[in-house]
Amino acid sequence: MRGALLRIASFLIAACAGTASALPTFNEVRADFRPSDTLILSREGEVLQRLRTDATVRRGQWVPLADVSPALRQALVLSEDKRFYEHSGVDWRAASAAAWGNLWNQRTRGASTITMQLAGLLDGDWRQGPGGRTVVQKLGQTVAAQVLDRRWRKDQILEAYLNLVPFRSELVGIDALSRTLFGKAAHGLDDREAAVAAALVRAPNARPALVAQRACGVLRDMQQRPHAPAARVDCDALDLFTTAALQRRAFDTSEGVAPHFARYLLRQQFKDGAAVPERVPTTLRAPLQRFAAQTLQQHLRELRGRNVEDGAVLVLDNATGAVLAWVGSSGQLSQASEVDAVLALRQPGSTLKPFLYAHAIAERRLTAASLVEDSPAQITTAAGLYIPQNYDRQFKGWVSVRTALAASLNVPAVRTLVMVTPDAFHRQLVAAGLPLRESGDYFGYSLALGSPEVPLLHLTNAYRTLANGGRLSPVALQEAAKQRFTPALDARAAFIVGDILSDGNARARTFGTDSVLATRFWTAVKTGTSKDMRDNWAVGWSERYTVGVWVGNASGAAMHDVSGTSGAAPIWSALMGFLHARAPSRAPKAPAGLVQAAVRFGAVAAEGAPAPQPLEAARQEWFTAGTEQAVFAIDSGAASAYGQSARGQNDSKSFAARITSPASGTVIALDPDIPPTRQRLQFTATGEGLRWRMDGKPLGQGARVAWLPWPGRHVVQIVNARGQVLDEVRIEVRGAGAVTPPPPPRRN
C-alpha cells in the first residue's frame, strides 16, 4: 500500500514537473503583455493619446521594477512573502506552520509565496477556483514556483507579479491600480498608498473597512524600526483614506490631445476584430496638434458672448495626404465634446463656390475675366421664384469672375450655376470627393451657396485637390506607400481658381485690403457661412499644406454676429503662420495650356452719352488657351436688356407704375458672411414721382431705394404724391445675428 502511494506521488510530481518545465521566460511574458489601452503616437514618437480598447479588463502599461516606489515593494514583501529573497520559490517554514495550524484548526496565514502566486497567474491550471485548489494544483504550483525561481531572477519575479496580479474589480497590475485609485504613477506611491495596495492583493474585493484594517497592519510593519518601539499608526485616518481611494476613478478611458483622431484611426485601421497593437504610430505632428487645439480654444474663448462653443481643425500635407493635425472639438468649452466635428455633416456655405467656377472655366463657359452681373435675380423653379441676395451695401453691378469669386458674391454664383446646371455641378463635387447623398435636382440652385451637408474632412481634402492641380487622393492616417492620384478637376481651371483665391485685391470689395485672410506668404483661401449663421468655415492651402477650420455649435444653434473673417478665419491664419514660421510658400507654376494676357474692362456708352468709367482696372489675367481676349465690355443697351432675371429677360413695364423687384411673396435670407448692419436690399420700380413705404412708414423716393433688411414679414408699397397706393408687394426676411432693431428711416 505504501509503495503504491509512493508510485502515485512520484507520478504526480513527474507530471507536474513536465508541465512546469513549459513555463514561459520572463522576456516571453513581457512580450505577451497587452495593456487595455492603446497609445497613439505622433510621427516623432511622442504619445498623443491613450485610448482604452479592451473593455473586459483595466490593465495599464507594463511598469519596470525600477519605476515602482520602494514603499510598495516593501509593503508587498511584508504582506505577502516576508522571506521572498531567502527561499527558493517555496517557503517551507511557512508551509510547515500552515500545515501545523490546520492540524490543530488554528487560523494561520497561507503559505503561498509571491513566486507560487505568479506561477498561478502564468498557468491557469494552477489558479485557485471557487472551492480552493486541489492537491494536484497545489503540488503543480509548488513545483512550478521552484522552476521559476531557478530560471528567473528575484527582481523579474517581483516585476512580473506586480504587473499581472489582480487588485480590485477589473483592475489588473500596479499601473492600473495606482492611476485609478491614487491618480498617479506607480513610482509616486507613498507608505499609506502602498499599504492599501498590498492589502488589496490579499482581498481584492473586500469591504473598504476590511481593506483598511489590513492596510493598517501592513503600515505598522513598514514603519517598524529595529530596536525601536512600534510606531503609532492612525488607523481611523487610514480608514477614511482607504474608503475615499476605493471610490476614486481617476484613470480616464481616454487621455491626450487627439481623442477624436485616435478613435477614427482605430475604426479605420483595425476593423473586423483585428488585434490592436499596444502602440500605433501616426502621421500627426505633436507640436502642431497641440498648437491647433490651443489656438481653437483660445479663439473660441475670445468669441464668448456670441454663442459659439464648438470648432474643429484639420491640417493635411498636400503631397502625401498625411493628416498632420486633427482637432475634433473644443474640449471643455463644448457641451458635446465627444462629437467629432471633423466628421460631422454641416452646411459648407460659400466654400463650394471655387468648385463651381472651376467647372465653368473648365467647360469654357467663363474665364476669370468674364463679366457677370451682381444684381437682383429672380429664377423660376418648380417651387416658385428663387431670389438670391448679397445684402451688402449695394449690388456691385457687372463684375469679373475673379471679383465675384474672391469677394464671395452670391448672385453671380447662382447665375453661373444656371449656366452649368445643378446636376453637372453635383457630379463635379462628387468627383472632388464630397459625399453628397442627394442629387443635384434635389438641391437646385441653392447648391451654389452650399446647401448640402459635408464633413470638414472631405471638404478640406477637396481643397487639397485644388492645391494638387485637380488631382484627388485619400487622406493618410499612417505612413504609407506613395499616394495614387486620380484626376478630379481640370488642372488649368484649378490653377486659375487658386490664383483668384490668393488675390487680396480681388477680395477687397467684401473683405478689405487688410483682412485676416492676407498672409505674408502665398496662400489661397475661401470662407463660408451657412444659413442663419450656424456654421462658419475657412479653408485654404499653401504650397505644402491645406488647412480647414470650422466653428459653430454642435447643437445647430445660430451664432451671434460672427462673420466670415471673425469666426474661423483667425484660426486658419494662425495655423498657416505656425506652419510657415520657417518654411516659405511660393505660388504654383502654371500648367501647360494656360496663357497670361493683358485685359481691360469697360462699358460701351449709348449714343450721345458720356463715356462710362471702366468696370475694373486693367490687369494681366490667366486664360485657358483659346479663350483669351483683350477687352471685356458691356453695351449699355445689352445691360438694360439683361433685366432682373437670370435668363436675361426684362419683365418690367415702363408704361405702368409698379414694383419690379422683389416679387411679392419673396422669402429673403440674410447673408451670414456679412455683418447685418452692412446689408442692403434694393427695391426697384417703374414710374415717375414715386414714394416708397415700408409697413406704412416712409422709406424713400425715386425708382430705386435701398433698405436695411430686418427679420419678419413686411409690406412694401409705392405711392404717388397724393398718397394713393400704386403697387405693393409682401416679403419675408429670415436670418440671425441682429441684436438691436434698425434705426427709423430718415425723412427726405
pLDDT: which is higher, 140 or 45: 45
Angle at 391 between CA 389 and CA 397, to 5 degrees: 75
Predicted pLDDT at 678: 66
How many CB atoms within 10 Å of residue 183?
Answer: 13
Element (H, E) at 611: none
Say yes or no to pLDDT of 179 above 80: yes
Average pLDDT over residues 165-184: 92
Nearest to 545 by CA among 269, 318, 274, 275: 318
| Strand-pair partners of 623 | 595
With a cut of 90, say whether residue 488 has pLDDT above it: yes
How many other C-beta atoms are found inside a 10 Å radius of the C-beta of residue 582?
Answer: 5
Please state the rounded mean pLDDT for residues 729-745: 61
d(CA 529, CA 506): 19
Name the pLDDT band for 670 (thresholds 50, 70, 90).
confident
What are the residues facing 550 on neighbouring strands?
Answer: 312, 537
Mean pLDDT of 686-714: 89
Q: How far apart are CA 570 and CA 573, in angstroms?
A: 5
SS3 label, residue 263: helix
The answer to whether 101 touches 127, Cβ cutoff 8 Å, is no
Which pLDDT band holds residue 208 (cuts at 50, 70, 90)?
A: very high
Between CA 163 and CA 31 the distance in angstroms is: 13
Closest by alpha carbon to 605, among 629, 632, 631, 637? 637
What is the structure's pLDDT at 660? Answer: 83
Q: Length of the chain, please? A: 748
One-letter amino acid at 726 equals: L
Res 746: pLDDT: 41
Confidence of residue 744 (pLDDT cuts 50, 70, 90): very low
Closest CA to 529 of 668, 355, 408: 408
Rg (CA), the chain: 38
Q: What does the pLDDT read at residue 1?
A: 45
The pLDDT score that the predictor gives to residue 98 is 53
- 175 in Cβ contact with 63 (< 8 Å): yes
Q: How far is CA 287 from the centre of its chain?
A: 17
Q: What pLDDT is recorded for position 612? A: 61
Residue 557 has pLDDT above 50, yes or no: yes
Read off the pLDDT band of 87 (50, 70, 90): confident
- pLDDT tens digits for range 111-163: 688 998 898 888 765 455 554 556 566 777 888 888 999 999 999 999 999 99
Predicted local confidence at residue 12, as pLDDT = 46
Give the integer Cα–Cα distance in Å for 735 and 711: 6
User: Residue 41 to residues 53, 281, 479, 481, 551: CA-CA distances in angstroms?
Assistant: 15, 5, 12, 19, 27
- How far is 388 from 408, CA to CA, in rounded Å? 13
Residues 585-610: pLDDT tens digits? Answer: 999 999 999 999 999 998 655 455 55
Place of cell 418648380: 382
Percent of residues, the chain, with pLDDT higher than 70:
82
- pLDDT (0 to 100) of residue 651: 35
pLDDT single digits (tens) 274-295: 778 889 999 999 999 999 999 9
| Confidence class for position 226, pLDDT limits 50, 70, 90 | low
The residue-averaged pLDDT of 384-390 equals: 51
Q: Is 546 helix (H, G, I), strand (E, B) or coil?
A: strand
Element (H, E) at 15: helix 2-20
Q: Residue 41 forms beta bridges with which residues?
A: 47, 281
Lowest mean pLDDT, pick from 5-14, 409-418, 513-522, 611-620: 5-14
pTM (two decimals): 0.78
Better-predicted residue by pLDDT, 397 or 690: 690
Mean pLDDT, rounded, of the chain: 84
